[in-house]
Structure 1
Amino acid sequence: MVGMKSKSGHPGDHKSEEQRSGGRSESCSFCQKPTVVRLREPNRSLCAEHFIQDCEERVKRAVEAEGMIAPGDRIAVGLSGGKDSTALLMILEKIFSSTDIELVAITIDEGISGYREETMAAAVELTRRLAIPQQIVSFCELFGRDLDSLLFRREKEACTVCGVLRRRALLEGARRAGATKIATGHNLDDEAQSVLMNVLRGDLPRLLQDTSSGYPECFIPRIKPLIPLSEKEIVIFLMVQGVFVDLPECPYAHTALRGEVREMLADLEFHHPGTREKLIHARNMVRERISGNFVGESTRGGNLITHCRICGEVCSSEICAVCRVLGDVANIT
């Protein structure tokens, strides 16, 4: 399992929640360089070099332990230009640069005025620096309208609408790139938040759904290599390498349930360390015991493998989520 203590004593062999050193003159537990991070479990201090190595090795072990990537895979990396996707592309490039694994960045242009321009520029610059091919897929191209116009009079549904359309756009970009897997930048915090959100919504099928397997050939399995790392660890990972992803927040973010759940989980994690890992572990245990009895069903009913009667895309109901969203927009506007 990711993060279990190893007898080797290497800093990459330990799962932990980071704490900043607070300016104290500590030395790295593995060399004499200054500490940038203190690990809570076990209680160790790491310099920048050993912390970078620790993050890379935890991701590598997760990929190997869960069989996320196979020889010859072509990985479509969802690259928004934000901190998580930036760290994901950097780590995967480092891990697989000397292998037969190919990486291609897929960047989605939702068309959010005053916000997306900066993040798009950051994504383009990163792929140029790493010499990784990039495909840009826009909402206007796929759906005929940008997100700003799609959200007319329904701003409170921004994250739901955007999420549905982004997933389709990412899938389309991955297909165009000939990808065999899609890697997204979900971190430990994101995954724990998603578990709790699905519980709060009472959406058992979505809670148990495993997007890494069990899909028909026209779908591309999704993997989440960054789950071993917390949001704070990712920020520090980038900062110690001189990568500052200080970009504006999405203007629609304040409307999301996720923001409330994020605050709730942060408070729980502070008072009860390990809460995030326990949530994810509990979800995984339930998945194993259910053995697919509910996985693939939606809260609206229906089977996993069917085709949308409007667009023909594989989905779990008569009309896919994308066509429902676009249909609702047409009715409003």
Structure 2
Amino acid sequence: MSADGMGSRGRVLVTGGAGYIGSHTVAELLHAGYDVLVVDNLINASEESLRRVRELTGTDERRLAFQQVDLLDAAALDAAVAAGGPFRACIHFAGLKAVGESVEQPLRYYKNNLGGTLNLLQSLHRHGCRKFVFSSSATVYGMAERVPITESAPLSATNPYGKTKLFIEEFLRDLHASPHGSSEWHILILRYFNPVGAHESGRIGEDPSGIPNNLMPFIAQVAVGRREYLSVFGNDYPTHDGTGVRDYIHVVDLAQGHVAALNKLEGDAASVGCVAVNLGTGKGYSVLDMVKAFEKASGKPIPYKIVGRRPGDTATVYADPAYAKQFLGWEAQRGLEDMCASTWKWQSQNPYGYRKAGS
């Protein structure tokens, strides 16, 4: 860090940085010596997360700045990029992310996720920021037939949310393939598996609006008494206990994967081009494995009911993380016990997330 208290590695633009993965990544960027400008419309996030990140990292608004901007507002976005830069790179998290909601409101998802990304890319190009890390998802593999899933597996998203991730990946590949793109743009596409867990302090964590779409926050809300029971979608899959198996990755490991991606872009951009990398652990846990582990971590019973399968769910999904280790020098460090313990610490200390009870 420089003498004036500013980071010595330059400034990074983080879209959606007030959200779950974004806020943890911002904390890791600050620890790594970067300054950060977060732009977020706060539709599914809270500025309180950034206040707590400043508290945890001992930084102020000079090193972690915030602008409430919707990426669909091209003029406001461009003004924020122009005023906040120059940027060493951009990490793009912003977007709607609920699979079920995307099935119900596909046009909203296409407009928001695709339109916002196009505005962002145009603004970055205009202002000379062409190192880009995209928050993609294992949903781009669709109904993957083989595990572990490598980066060369066929791409075939099965819902509008996953399709927006896949289409944005196509934007980025086409941008890089354009006449000047290969020499100017350096792009890393990070395909996440199932992020869980929270910061070790318990001060920042996952705070979904409304009914959680993901397993871990639902289990945590049952444990803390906000919900009566967990619905388990199917117990007749060809797995060790009949429930679906997924690759769960600790959010701090995931955040550190983004720092590794920036290190790659900073130190070896010429070898990057436009590259996709899986971020997962290579291990699979079933729904009931997660329930039992969380009961142990929290000391609370997790009542559950078996209900019918959800359309489109597959039995087993987990990553082959070998390429991330080879290419980025990164691998997940935290196991299931830490995932559950950190989630419980966050949820028990913040039973209503960043909101107060009754708000």
**Which TM-score band (shorter chain)?**
0.3 to 0.5
Instruction: Report the structure, 1 or 2, having the larger helix content.
Output: 1
Instruction: Report the structure, 1 or 2, having the larger strand content.
Output: 2
**TM-score of the two chains, using structure 1 as the length reference:** 0.38
| Higher normalized contact order (CA 8 Å, seq sep 6+, divided by chain length) | 2
